[in-house]
Structure 1
């Protein structure tokens, strides 16, 4: 039985195999995704982001368990940071959600970011499609937790959950111009710590500035490790999807995300063509030495590489 049919037959091993092929850039994976693309778009895709140490994995674990109690099936894509030196990744999120590994209604996939900026792996979008075809009701994407550059999650999710923790102080102001604006729902995790109410107040004050917004992001208090505040948080996530559909913004958001995906794919393919051709002719290496020795400027070098593929 071929991989395509095995996916349609709900085989977990086939899902894992197809995601691996997509991560490695294998043509077979994208051939299957092209063929089965009309079966995607049914799952509620939820992005979970926030600073390192906010408890994103624990919160994801509790949200998934709450959905499982409702009989829903769930896919989890946990993106971990990758070493820029060895290319290795600890993939610790899967360890934190180890209890879910034996649940037949849950599929967890850890992915290394592989140096891709924006808090996500390059293959994240492909993995979301695979899980959507597989037929889960919800898909969680948990980002690496890298801070301001982590806005790519908004291009991939229907609902973005921003997880914050008390004690960041002025850090909220520092990251406000980046990831704070993409939150559709906010969660103050570890709310039993000092300063939790202050953190919630600061976020509410920030949200007050955007008076023209059609959706006011709710701010929830949670203690994930004690399973407190999870049901309220999940209800707000569901309410956001209802709002998107009732307001007509659901289709608008998905059209915008599709546009961004097409542009990113074109960029990736063009970059691959440029570097592949230039690498074979050792042009990049030669120009790099000249730029380093100040024999030529980087702007002229970039133009020469582009002219080389015409």
Structure 2
């Protein structure tokens, strides 16, 4: 074990940041760090916070951090995924700015990453960082997805407890009946519960859940006000209840295995995509003949390199 990883395991924030950066960019050194940390991972409770943009996810996470801290959680990890520019693939990292006061807490480590255009709310980079932070001893680990709405569903295979944040007053109170994001939650949160439309939205979601067939865990619905810190204690109680259910049913470890399978799949896909792009650029620029010949040649070249 080299000095940087050793210091990261001791809790040095700068070392943690450098280790995670190497992992995020999939350097050779970073992949070795990920391999070492995977050996230590497997005990952290991971919590996904998803929902439409503007639902108050960042404010909710801020309140969750405070409540978890009160309960003696010594190392709380947060991964915040911001949308990327389709041109530069960069990100403003606005979530990080909104959470600035929490970055000063000794027991909290917040990592912001760009989605890099990845649909589904969670990228290979995010899943690798979840695994790494688990190995570094963070527990719980909270993951805020990019907020892509109904397509924000890949978080299912990446975390233990999925909290879907809804907000009243959007003019679409029947969103509880939609497919996609409204089918993945373990806990549904009505944020901004002080709004008069909150009761209507709560009833719609509760009706949708009560009408469904649930195997084992029936999703919970709670009203909170993240800004006013109302209902946060009850939400953390619900999260811990779901964690207990997962452990007692044997699904806790199963979720970790699902995350690792997804992580391997995404890393392999990324490496294959890089190779395909490399070969395509060379063939199109230097060796154009006809479409099918090019396709078959690229396929053979990529297959040989695997």
Point out where structure 1 has 5 or more consecutive residues left out of the alignment: none
How far apart are the structure 2 equivalents of 1:167 and 1:305?
51
Change (3 A) 1:118 1:301: farther
How far apart are the structure 2 equivalents of 1:89 and 1:99?
20
Measure how far apart 1:284 and its partner are. Answer: 7.6
Name 1:70's counterpart in structure 2: 71
2:193 is paired with a residue whose SS is coil
Change (3 A) 1:305 1:248: same
Describe the superposition over 1:38-58 as per-residue Cα deviations: whole angstroms up to 9, x where unpaired: 111121110000000000000
Give the TM-score normalised by structure 1. Answer: 0.89
How far apart are the structure 2 equivalents of 1:55 and 1:130?
27
How far apart are the structure 1 equivalents of 2:220 and 2:180?
19
1:84 is paired with a residue whose SS is coil
- Residues 154 and 182 of structure 1 are in contact (CA less than 8 Å); yes or no, is this contact kept in structure 2? yes
Structure 2 residue 245 is matched with structure 1 residue 252: no
2:149 is paired with a residue whose SS is coil
How large is the RMSD of aligned CA atoms in angstroms? 2.2
Counterpart among 167, 184, 187 of residue 185 in structure 1? 187
How far apart are the structure 1 equivalents of 2:223 and 2:258?
31
Q: Matches of residues 9-88 of structure 1 in structure 2 within 5 Å? A: 9-72=10-73, 73-88=75-90
How far apart are the structure 2 equivalents of 1:49 and 1:286?
46
Change (3 A) 1:172 1:41: farther
Measure how far apart 1:112 and its partner are. Answer: 1.1
Change (3 A) 1:134 1:257: closer
Moved more, 232-241 or 169-178: 169-178
Name 2:104's counterpart in structure 1: 102
Name 1:237's counterpart in structure 2: 239
Name 1:131's counterpart in structure 2: 133
Moved more, 145-154 or 201-210: 201-210
- Residues 40 and 133 of structure 1 are in contact (CA less than 8 Å); yes or no, is this contact kept in structure 2? yes
Moved more, 225-234 or 81-90: 81-90
Measure how far apart 1:136 and its partner are. Answer: 1.6
Structure 2 residue 214 is matched with structure 1 residue 212: yes
- Residues 166 and 188 of structure 1 are in contact (CA less than 8 Å); yes or no, is this contact kept in structure 2? yes
Measure how far apart 1:130 and its partner are. Answer: 2.3
- Residues 74 and 139 of structure 1 are in contact (CA less than 8 Å); yes or no, is this contact kept in structure 2? yes
How far apart are the structure 2 equivalents of 1:88 and 1:256?
29
How far apart are the structure 1 equivalents of 2:171 and 2:298?
46
Name 2:7's counterpart in structure 1: 6
How far apart are the structure 1 equivalents of 2:254 and 2:271?
26
- Residues 224 and 232 of structure 2 are in contact (CA less than 8 Å); yes or no, is this contact kept in structure 1? yes
2:164 is paired with a residue whose SS is strand
How far apart are the structure 1 equivalents of 2:286 and 2:255?
42
Describe the superposition over 1:89-139 as per-residue Cα deviations: whole angstroms up to 9, x where unpaired: 111111211211111100011111111111224311121122222212211
Name 2:157's counterpart in structure 1: 155
1:48 is paired with a residue whose SS is strand
Measure how far apart 1:87 and its partner are. Answer: 2.7
How far apart are the structure 1 equivalents of 2:122 and 2:261?
18
Counterpart among 264, 278, 281 of residue 280 in structure 2? 278
Measure how far apart 1:229 and its partner are. Answer: 0.4
2:168 is paired with a residue whose SS is coil
Measure how far apart 1:304 and its partner are. Answer: 4.5
How far apart are the structure 2 equivalents of 1:48 and 1:307?
42
Change (3 A) 1:97 1:254: same
Describe the superposition over 1:190-224 as per-residue Cα deviations: whole angstroms up to 9, x where unpaired: 01112111111111122123223211111000011
Point out where structure 2 has 5 or more consecutive residues left out of the alignment: none
Q: Matches of residues 218-233 of structure 1 in structure 2 within 5 Å? A: 218-233=220-235
How far apart are the structure 1 equivalents of 2:30 and 2:212?
42
